[in-house]
A and B are shown apart, each in its own frame.
Chain A
Amino acid sequence: MKPDQSLRSPNALSAALQRFGNGFVELPLWNRRPVRTLALVLALFMFALVVTVPLEFWQQVGFVTTCIVLAMWLNRVEGHLATLMMVVLSVAVSSRYMYWRLTETISLGNWVDAAFGIGLVLAELYAFVVLLLGYFQTAWPLKRRPVPMPADSATWPTVDIFIPTYNEPLSVVKPTVFAAMSMDWPRDKINVYVLDDGRREEFRAFCEKVGATHVTRNHNRHAKAGNINEALKNTHGEYVAIFDCDHIPTRSFLQICMGWFIKDRKLAMLQTPHYFFSPDPFEKNLRTFQEVPNEGELFYGLVQDGNDLWDATFFCGSCAIIRRAPLLEVGGIAVETVTEDAHTALKLHRKGYGTAYLAIPQAAGLATESLSGHVGQRIRWARGMAQICRVDNPLLGPGLSLPQRLCYLNAMLHFFYGLPRLVFLTAPLAYLLFGAHVIQASALTIAIFALPHMLHANMTNSRIQGKFRHSFWNEVYESVLAWYIMRPVLVAFVNPAAGKFNVTPKGGVIEEAYFDWVISRPYLVLLLFNLLGVVVGLLRLFVWHQEATTVVLNLAWTFYNLIILGASIAAASETRQIREAHRVAMKLPATLHFGDGRAVVCETIDFAEGGIGIRLPHGVEAQVGEPVQISLYLQHDEHMFPARVVFQGESHTGLVLAEMSPREEMAFIQCTFARADAWIDSWGRKRPDAPGMAAGQILRIGLLGFHNVMFHLSREMRRLLRRPEPGASAN
């Protein structure tokens, strides 16, 4: 192959780039400190030049075109070095934009312009800082692999498994307890504790029957954190594994996770992802389950893995192991804030202990049911991070490395997105409705600075996050929550002690499809203002014949905002939850035993509490009402469960399981949810991001939002007309 040919193909180039990068980094001259300092100073100087040099309009066009072409070309090249180069380009272009915004586009002359202008530039500054911190945080995900345990299990440490619960029904907690008791670990070195803050007799009896320990206390101070701390006093295992009561661990959890503690004596906490086998409200209401990465996936897929490089993985409250001694050293789980988990990790880091992240789903649970529940949970996180910011600011205080401080800073700053997001959703209205010139520059100049800034950021993030967050979805997720987390965050920031703790409700039933008017109220208001803005904008354009390019630019922005708002509103249309127990898709080999002695090979389709969906071979049918037995397998072991046929469709047979003994229930959990490989196949396997496709999807969902508003509005109208008495509206 001729060299010019190999350079033309991006992936041959990738290898060349990688070789060059490695060679460059390993040059012996980097071992000398003065050389490194000199290189850094030189690079900073060049960077400052790129950011600050004033350019004429066409020169700026030339600069950004070069950058964008380079980035698009790099985007086709595989490999980490190309990603980092794209990050450098994005940072350069965005920095140049911010510098220009701050130095040339703010006018303090007219108070309307000044107020809106400063508001917008502050919001942009926030977004810029979060962009930079995000690049830093996810620059090089560690992708840690498990370390095997030593062969002699006699040397393995003792582990206490804590399952804190407060008001969740026993049916939700049972599978978790059974799975915890089934973990592959020496029997005499594992103890399962159900920490029951509800102090329920039913739980005590259940624990006694199955051999777990029921732990209670006589008060509920500090909620979950207090519950765990109380249990720490009366237990003695060297390690504590914590599971939310609805996170069912797999049997391999400890064997996969514990190896790192043996290898790294300074390791105090290891976190695994929170995997959800039911759709969250976004996935449910927008029908994107298992298609579009959900809100949490970016965090567990990328952010935590990125944090891990900097030894800054946070504890997330569940599906994690903590070494007892360091935990006691920092006074147990933190109780000063409502995000006790992240705060505990911060305290461990301050003491010089390490944390780790293992991106292998080794537990799974129910996602929050309704949007209001979801919002409530995020409010708690946001409040907690704001509280940490006030009472134990990671930028200050001892013990942290700079990267750790930056990772924590980003985690906190992240939750301040509420206000900036609302600013972006209303910014074009400042001009359209009030005629304020928020950016003191011509529309074309704004375009030539702002568009490349956004394009680079989107392209680079799509490449870095593509598997875990699709383009534009960030805007939707943030927009829905913006209004709600804005106030609690600001309140908590001003007064960390204010507000109350809320527990997320799970496993409920949404009786009827409805539109959450309460939760979508702020977005309906924003929607109306934006629609008004469009009307006024069109008037300015066609009737009053005002500054055409400025009007068009602001109108385009408004249309974008309308789509995002439409999508946010679509997320508030709660679809009906048909079953109380969620169906969890899981394909497993099975055998169906008929009453007449026939045994037929089949495959399971999905599981729900008390039921199984199976696919029988072609030509085999079951009679509805027929008693049968279904065998499930755990490697070689076969377990048979009595059941009854309740549904026979074309390719799907529904069974309802008979009442099970605790022993059978345990076997059932082992054969299904606690399988070592239960969730691995679904992790990080979603379609990678394609920005064009994502844009189309958001557009569709945005229009769906408008349609939903109209539909529910007319329904409400009819209802009101039929029943004219006051107070008989929705919900």
Chain B
Amino acid sequence: MKIIAVVSAKGGVGKTTLSANLAEALTMAGEHVLAVDLDPQNALRLHFGMPPHEVSGHARATLAGEAWQQSMYRGRSRVVLMPFGALNEADRSAFEAHLVTHPGWLRTQLGTLGLGRDDVVVIDTPPGPSPYMRQALSCAQLCVMVSLPDAASYATMPLMEDLIRTYCEGRPDYLGHVLVINQVDVSRQLGKDVVQVLRAQLGERVLGVIHQDQSVAEALAYDRSVLEYNPHSQATHDLQRCAAWLRRVMAAHGEAA
């Protein structure tokens, strides 16, 4: 089992979309992927065609003391989805309290699924420090930080790196973190400059850029992944490149282990 957490310190950077698309891209490349939604917005499911009225999810299952398997959703995509589930405010507090008192919750739950050695888990997280983020970070082998090419994203990067340092680094199975710069539009000078600064600062850690591309939004509206919706779009190409890189790193690690 290889666990990838998709994280960012700031909201609205396209994390959920990226998680869904990365999961699709990895699947298309031949991986078996489980996409886990750790964000109470419960929006990841929308990328996999789960009907909006469905309420089940791992959070509800956890509170009810049920096993995770029952909440898994298999839709039109070959990606297996573990939705967050709909919770009311009181339940959410209870769930978060549970997460605080059970720091190994996610790792344990994933362990019960009987996933194979080569299966991949992609975890979508809510922005910034939270019990969810902590859960995700403490079992992730790879952290994919997402940022926009703007000043705010740039300014919040140290916060995210601090969290990663606290929860990930030093763990023997941890492989490292990389940065994906999302919605890049080079026709804007600022975007171009931020990409350059980030590259200069992080060097090889910049996994790639995902171009601003209308096809991404259109694909969601048509209930398809962008990879299917427009295979020639630049965003598809960028996602495939990121997925290929992740596979290479995981394969190299798999051989070493």
- Which A residues form the contact surface with B (CB < 8 A)? 591, 593, 596-601, 616-617, 619-620, 629, 631, 636-640, 642
Interface of A, helix, strand, loop or mixed by DSSP: strand
Judged by a CB distance under 8 angstroms, whether B196 is at the interface is: yes
Whether B186 and A599, one on each chain, are in contact in the complex, defined by CB atoms closer than 8 angstroms, is no
Q: Which residue of A lies closest to B217 (CB)?
A: A597
Question: Cβ of B214: which chain A residues have Cβ within 8 Å of it?
Answer: 596-599
Closest A residue by C-beta to B230: A598
- Once bound together, how far apart are the Cα atoms of A619 and B195, in whole Å? 31
Known: A593-B187, A640-B186. Contact between A599 and B235, CB under 8 A?
yes
Query: A620 to B209, alpha carbons, bound, how many Å?
Result: 23
**What's the minimum C-beta distance from A221 to chain B, rounded to whole angstroms?**
47
Q: Which B residues from 213 to 257 make CB contacts under 8 A with A? A: 213-215, 230-237
Give the distance in Å from the alpha carbon of A591 to the alpha carbon of B234 in the complex. 7
**Residue in chain B with minimal CB distance to A599:** B234
User: Which listed residue (B186, B213, B236) contacts A597, Cβ 8 A?
Assistant: B213
B187 adjacent to A599 (CB under 8 Å): no
Assess whether B211 is interfacial by the CB under 8 Å rule. yes
Q: Does B192 contact A (CB under 8 A)?
A: yes
Q: Are A601 and B187 in contact (CB under 8 A)?
A: no
With both beta carbons as reference points, the residue of chain B lying nearest to A616 in the complex is identified as B232
**Is the beta-carbon distance between B235 and A636 smaller than 8 angstroms?**
no
Q: Is B199 an interface residue (CB 8 A)?
A: yes
Best-buried of A599, A636, A637, A639 by chain B (most CB within 10 Å):
A599
**How many Å lie between the Cα of A601 and that of B215 in the bound state?**
12
Please list 17 pairs of residues, one from A and one from B, whose beta carbons are closer than 8 Å in the complex, sorted by A's number.
A591-B211, A591-B234, A597-B213, A599-B211, A599-B214, A599-B233, A599-B234, A600-B234, A601-B236, A617-B231, A629-B187, A636-B206, A638-B184, A638-B209, A639-B186, A640-B186, A640-B187
Most buried by A among B184, B195, B214, B235: B214
Q: Which residues of B contact A (CB under 8 A)?
A: 184, 186-187, 192, 195-196, 199, 206, 209, 211-215, 230-237
Contacts of B195 in A (CB 8 A): 638
* Nearest 6 CB-CB pairings of A with B: A597-B214, A599-B234, A617-B232, A599-B213, A640-B186, A601-B237
Distance, CA A534 to CA B235, complexed state (A): 70
Q: Which residues of A contact B215 (CB under 8 A)?
A: 598-599
Q: Which residues of B contact A620 (CB under 8 A)?
A: 232
Complex: chain B residue closest to A602, CB-CB: B232
Q: How far apart are the CA atoms of A152 and B122 in the complex, in Å?
A: 44
Contacts of B213 in A (CB 8 A): 597-599
**Is there contact, CB below 8 Å, between B237 and A638?**
no
Residue of A598, A620, A637, A642 contacting most chain B CB atoms (<10 Å): A598
Distance A596 CA – B217 CA, assembled complex (angstroms): 12
Bound: A461/B192 CA distance, A: 54
The reply to whether A600 and B187 contact each other, CB–CB distance below 8 Å, is no
Bound: A215/B198 CA distance, A: 40
Q: Is the pair A636, B199 in contact by a Cβ cutoff of 8 Å?
A: yes
Name A596's closest neighbour in chain B (CB-CB): B214
Please, which residue of chain B has its CB at the minimum distance from the CB of A589?
Answer: B237
Determine the chain B residues whose CB is within 8 A of the CB of A631 once the complex forms. 186
**Known contacts A600-B233, A638-B195, A640-B186; can you find 4 more A-B pairs with CB under 8 A?**
A597-B214, A599-B233, A600-B230, A631-B186
Chain B residue numbers with a CB within 8 Å of A638 are: 184, 186, 192, 195, 209
A255 to B213, CA, bound (A): 38
Separation of A639 and B215 alpha carbons in the complex (Å):
21
Which residues of the other chain, B, contact A636 by a CB distance below 8 angstroms? 199, 206
Closest to A629 in B: B187
Contact A601 B212 (CB under 8 A): no
- Closest B residue by C-beta to A636: B199
Q: Complex Cα distance A597/B185, Å?
A: 10
Minimum CB–CB distance from A108 to chain B (whole Å) comes to 81
CA distance A3 to B244 in the complex (A): 51
A619–B232 touching, CB < 8 Å = yes
Q: CA–CA, A601 to B214, complex, Å?
A: 14
The docked-state distance in angstroms from the alpha carbon of A128 to that of B192 is 64
Q: Measured between alpha carbons, how far is A600 from B232 in the docked complex, in Å? A: 6
Q: How far is the CB of B235 from chain A (nearest CB, A)?
A: 7
Bound-state CA distance A599–B196 (Å) is 21
Tell me the minimal C-beta distance from B141 to chain A in angstroms: 25
Partner of A601, one of B206, B209, B232: B232
Give Cα distance in the complex from A598 to B192, angstroms: 18
Task: Write the chain A residue with the least CB distance to B199.
Answer: A636
A617, B230: Cα distance in complex, Å: 11
- B231 CB contacts on chain A under 8 angstroms: 617
Residues of A contacting B233 with CB < 8 Å? 598-601
State the CA gap A359–B36 with chains docked (Å): 56
Closest B residue by C-beta to A635: B199
Chain A residues near B237: list those with CB within 8 A: 601
Please, how many angstroms separate the alpha-carbon atoms of A668 and B218 in the complex? 31
Alpha-carbon distance A596/B233, docked complex (angstroms): 13
Chain A residues within 8 Å of B196, by CB? 637
| Residues from chain A with Cβ under 8 Å of B232 in the complex | 600-601, 616-617, 619-620
CB distance from B130 to the nearest CB of A (A): 33
Which residues of A are found within 8 Å of B234, using beta-carbon distances? 591, 593, 599-601
- Closest Cβ of chain A: how far from B67's Cβ, in Å? 43
Once the chains are docked, how many angstroms separate the CA of A204 from the CA of B186?
A: 32
- Shortest CB distance A667–B (Å): 10
- Nearest-CB distance from A599 to chain B (Å)? 4
Contacts of A596 in B (CB 8 A): 214
CB distance from A630 to the nearest CB of B (A): 11
